[in-house]
Amino acid sequence: MESATDYHHAKALLDWQIELGATEAIGDASVNRYEMPDKPAPTTSPAIAPAAETDPVTVARALAMQAGDLAALHTALAGFEHCELKRGARSLVFADGNPTARVMIIGEAPGREEDRIGRPFVGRAGQLLDKMLAAINLARDGDAKKSVYITNVLPWRPPQNRDPKPEEIAMLLPFVQRHVELINPEVIVLMGNISCQAGLGKRGITRLRGHWAEAYSTPCLPMFHPAYLLRTPAAKREAWADLLALQARLRASR
């Protein structure tokens, strides 16, 4: 019979794992990885030369280029097996909003809520983003003139929301590029450093923000990420200036 001590011991172990960042149980029995072979046994005869290494960026380019519409791009991403993030994520978070919008917003990567629900920017940062957009009369839905289209550089949530690795950004970039071509927006908003890294090849959002540049052959405006604004409310002042700059540009080219 289970004793109270067993219960408290098990509970303490569980709390400790949660503290370390465990978010879900994936098996009833633990796996002792020290007892596993270092490498999987070869499946082909050593006499047969191994196939040339597949370059994930080359595969991504070929898949993305072939996608003639958004549904095909979604399917191409879903079939892309070279990104480890896919295996740890629950959802492929593709996009939200109006595909005919004048403004395309490119964020970083799904967080926990986005991964759970399958839509970009639905957590706390997303709620702030919606309020920021509403302040200049933009929304996810509605007619093309007043709406936005939202996606991320990465469609899969990185574990523990860690920063994406450069090679992950590089292999997903062809999909972002094709996504922009298919939407063909008038302007792009690059939300935060990772988005600037992908679109402009540089970081330093504090210097980049508020200065119009060009990414994916389209005029773009780098802005502070709403998650940063939640942590640093004083920066909302600059974010407001950038929103007004976006509004002014949309009005000027109407």
Q: Footprint of ligand URA on this chain (CB under 6 A)?
A: 107-111, 114, 120-121, 123, 125-126, 152, 191, 227
Residue 39 CB, shortest distance to ligand URA, in Å, is: 36
What's the closest the beta carbon of residue 121 comes to ligand URA, in angstroms? 4
| 3-state SS, one letter per residue, for 106-117 | EECCCCHHHHHH
- Phi and psi dihedrals of 21, rounded to 5? 110, 5
What is the smallest separation between the CB atom of 165 and ligand URA, expressed in angstroms? 16
Considering beta carbons, is residue 97 or 174 the nearer one to ligand URA?
A: 97
For residue 150, list its beta bridge partners. Answer: 96, 105
Taking the least distance from each CB to ligand URA, the nearer of 152 and 177 is 152
Q: How far is the CB of 113 from ligand URA (least distance, A)?
A: 8
Q: Based on CB atoms, which residue is closest to ligand URA, 6 or 150? A: 150
Contact 78, 118 (CB under 8 A): no
Type of residue found at 213: A
Give the nearest residue (CB) to ligand URA: 107
For the CB of residue 190, give the shortest distance to ligand URA in the complex, in Å: 11
Q: Residue 60 or residue 194: which is nearer to ligand URA going by CB? A: 194
Q: Minimum distance between the CB of residue 152 and ligand URA, rounded to whole angstroms?
A: 5
Residues 6+ apart with CB under 8 A from 50: 44
* Closer residue to ligand URA in complex, CB, 64/154: 154
| Shorter beta-carbon distance to ligand URA: residue 6 or 160 | 160
Contact (CB, 8 A) for 110 and 164:
no
